[in-house]
Every structure is written in structure tokens, then in C-alpha cells.
Structure 1
Amino acid sequence: MSDGNAWLPYCGSAPAPAEWLHRWNFDPVLLFILALTVVFLLRQPGASARDRQLIVTAAALALLLFVSPFCALTSALFSARAVHHLLLTAALPPLLMAACPRLHVPGRALLWTATHAFIFWSWHVPQAYGWALSSDLAYWLMQASLLLSALGVWSAVRRVSVTNAIAALLGTMVQMGLLGALLTFAGSALYAPHFIGPIVWGLSPLEDQQLAGLIMWAPGAGIYLAAALALLARWFARERASALAG
């Protein structure tokens, strides 16, 4: 497969600006699985009103990622794919963790941090990325492995000590920022599925890739930094309260 027209990603061929808002994905199998998952989570024992609100929010995010026209946009723009991967790994997992207090992924924080970094980088190897966009099975393998490894990280962050949680978040921030920097400063476009799609959007393939790198580098890494700072602030607040109480 030598050009963007030859790739057949799960979300369909790369859309032009005039059509992409009409490119909804009504895959019945996907919709059934999403609906079944939402019903199961909403019926979990002890779910509070806040938990249900978070579950609905997580469901809305999943619809944005895989059903809305944004799914099709990721076939055209690698920068849209970068946003997709960030939402999949840095927004959806903490939402699910907050919505499902009993959700637990076993494993050490360091192990999950390293595993997630390995999986994230592996899928951004051009050949692996190209395979994911040429097969539905490979596409869902990519999505599932990214999501599950991210759930492992966020689950560990929730249950380990503050220092270990901050280390896991900062480690993920560093690997995300490093990958973003490499993509930003690469001298050529690396991803064959996006050699053509960006052009009709007014971007060269290299500009699209650089934008994707900047998204990973700044807002992407920033999410993990913000989470680490929030944990640190919460820890300081608890220590201050304990000191005042003592």
C-alpha cells in the first residue's frame, strides 16, 4: 500500500472537509458493545448519582472517539489521531476509574507505567501504525491495548502511595513528551496512511505530523503533569490538616 487511498482504516477512508461531519460510524456490533457496557456499569452495586453521571460522561467520550465524525477525521489527519489517543489513554481511563470505585487492575505502578509506554511507542512505529489502519482486527488490537494499559496506570495511581503515583504520572508524562518531540522535529513525514489525507485540509503530511507531535508534547504531557500536581496538592492539604489537628 503506497498511498493514502490504499488504506482502509476502521473509521473509513480519509474524508474531505465538506463531507466529514456526515461521516458517522453506526457499526451495530460497536454500538451493541458500548450499550451493553454502559448498562452493566450503570447497574453496578452501590453506584451513586455522581458515579452514574461519570459513566454517562465516559460513554459520551467513547461515542465521540468511535461513533462521531471525529472517528473519520482520524483517518485523514495524524494530528486528529494524536488527540484520539490522548483522550483514549488520558481522559477515558481516569473517568472510568472515578465512576467505578470497585474497578481494579492488578499490577505494580512501575510495571504498568513501563508496559503502557512500550505499547504506546510500539503503535507509533510507522509499520505498526500502518498495519493498524489496514485491518479492523489490528485497529481494535491497538485501541484495546492502549486503553487497557492506560487503565493499568490509572488504577495503580489510585491505590499506591502518593510518591509512587506521582512517579508513574511523571514517567508517563516524560515518555509522552519525548515521543511528541521526536515527531515534531522529524525531518520527514513518517506515516504512509497520512501522506495524502492532510493535503485537502491545507496541511502537508509533515505539518500534520508536527502538529500531532506538539499535541502529544504540550497538552498531552500536561495532562499527566496536572494530575501529578493535583495529587501533590492533595497530599500537602492532608498533611497540613493533620498538623493542625495535632
Structure 2
Amino acid sequence: MAVLALLALGWRRSPNRVALLAGSGLVALALLSPLCSLAVALFSARVAQHMALVLIAAPLLAVGLRARAPSAPVSASVFAAMLWLWHLPAPYGWTFTSDLAWWASHLSLLVAAVWLWQALLHARPESALAAGIVTAAQMGVLGAFLTFAPRPLYLPHAFTTWPWGLSALEDQQLGGLLMWVPGGVLFAGLALAAVARALREARPAG
């Protein structure tokens, strides 16, 4: 209900209601579709759910919502903290035993991602470049760690992956790749876009 109330308030003040509506629809799809049920069985599906929220829904919401985000460095730091926190084995496992933890994980990641995207969209080019590179790097490190870990790290998926033809380790590796490649590529691309914008702004002065 709190999420609906915030979106309703955002709708009244939104400078881009199409983006807000699209972002809200993607949030609902990620959290209420069969993908959510699949995420109970597969770690890779949970990562796909998170990537849909932070890489697709969040930038749309950032465009659609009129809000003041923290600075790009602060937003990037908060996003990194939330991403690593909810993919550590203990907090991750907690989301399977507590509805409060489940909602907290998804909503804190989403809010942190919206802040990050808002900050990147309005930051100075050099600040957006730095935040984009840092975000791409930290997502890549976490994804690589999950991909190359020698053993499964997540007890909730110890016996849930076999019906899908995956071992728990293979499922974890797939989730790591989903985080490593799409997340790293997107934020690296954003960093390059910031460089291009900086060069365009510097051209008249030259």
C-alpha cells in the first residue's frame, strides 16, 4: 500500500507520466509475475528479478518521478551497499523466512537504483562518469565473485534447482553472469555517454 501511495503522489507531480507508468508496470511485473515464484527456486531468477528492477524499471521511474536524489557519489555508494547487502548469504537467506525482509530487499534496491539513476541523469559529466565506472566495477566484482565461487553460497537453493536441470552451483554461476554482464555493460555505457556529453560541452569553449 505504501508503494501505491508513493506512486500515486508521484503521478500527480510527474513530469513524464509515460515513463512513470512504464516503470511502475515493470515493477509490478517483476514482483507479481511468475518470475517472482521462479525466484524462490532459482538464484538466477532472483538476480534476473533484481536486474529488471534496477536496470529497466528504475531508470524509467527516475525519469517519471520529480524528486531530489543525493549526489552521484552518495547515490552510487548507497546502491552498492544495498546490492552487496542483499546478495550476502545471510541477508539473502533471511528473505526466505521473513516477508518483511523480502519486501525490504526489493524496495531498498529499487529506491537506491532510482536515486542512482536520478543522480546520473542530472549530474555533471565528470561526476556521472565516475559514478558510472564505480557502479559498473562493483557490479562486475560481485558478479565475478558469484560466477567463480568454488561452491554454492545460498542454502535456500540447495535442493530447489534440480527440477530446472541445474545444480545449485550452476544456478549461482548463471546468476553471477546475469549481474556481471548486463549490469557492467549498461553502466559502462552510461559512463561513456557521460564522456561524450563532456566532450560536446567542451567543444564550443575550444
TM-score (norm 1): 0.77
User: In the alignment, residue 219 of structure 1 is paired with which amino acid?
Assistant: P
Determine the structure 1 residue equivalent to 2:92: 129
2:77 maps to which of 81, 92, 114: 114
Determine the structure 2 residue equivalent to 1:212: 175
5+ unaligned residues in a row in structure 2: which ranges? none
**Residues matched between the structures, number:** 206
- Once the 2 structures are TM-superposed, how far is the Cα of residue 217 of structure 1 from its aligned partner? 1.0
- Once the 2 structures are TM-superposed, how far is the Cα of residue 177 of structure 1 from its aligned partner? 0.3
Deviation per CA, 1:128-182: give whole Å up to 9, x if none. Answer: 1101121001111112221222223222212321011111011010000000101
Determine the structure 1 residue equivalent to 2:127: 164
Equivalent residues in 2 for 1:59-138 (5 A)? 59-100=24-65, 102-105=66-69, 107-138=70-101
| Matches of 1:72 and 1:223, distance apart in 2 | 26
Determine the structure 2 residue equivalent to 1:141: 104
- Once the 2 structures are TM-superposed, how far is the Cα of residue 36 of structure 1 from its aligned partner? 4.0
User: In the alignment, residue 48 of structure 2 is paired with which amino acid?
Assistant: V
User: In the alignment, residue 92 of structure 1 is paired with which amino acid?
Assistant: A
Q: Is the 8 A contact 1:58 1:95 kept in 2?
A: yes
Q: Is the 8 A contact 1:86 1:220 kept in 2?
A: yes
5+ unaligned residues in a row in structure 1: which ranges? 1-31
| Matches of 2:2 and 2:72, distance apart in 1 | 29
| Matches of 2:26 and 2:155, distance apart in 1 | 28
TM-score (norm 2): 0.91
| Matches of 1:94 and 1:165, distance apart in 2 | 14
* SS of equivalent residue, structure 2 residue 161: helix
* Greater helix share, structure number: 2
Q: In structure 2, do the counterparts of structure 1 residues 197 and 174 end up closer, same or farther at CA, with 3 Å as the change threshold?
A: same
RMSD of the alignment, in Å? Answer: 1.9
**Larger Rg: 1 or 2?**
1
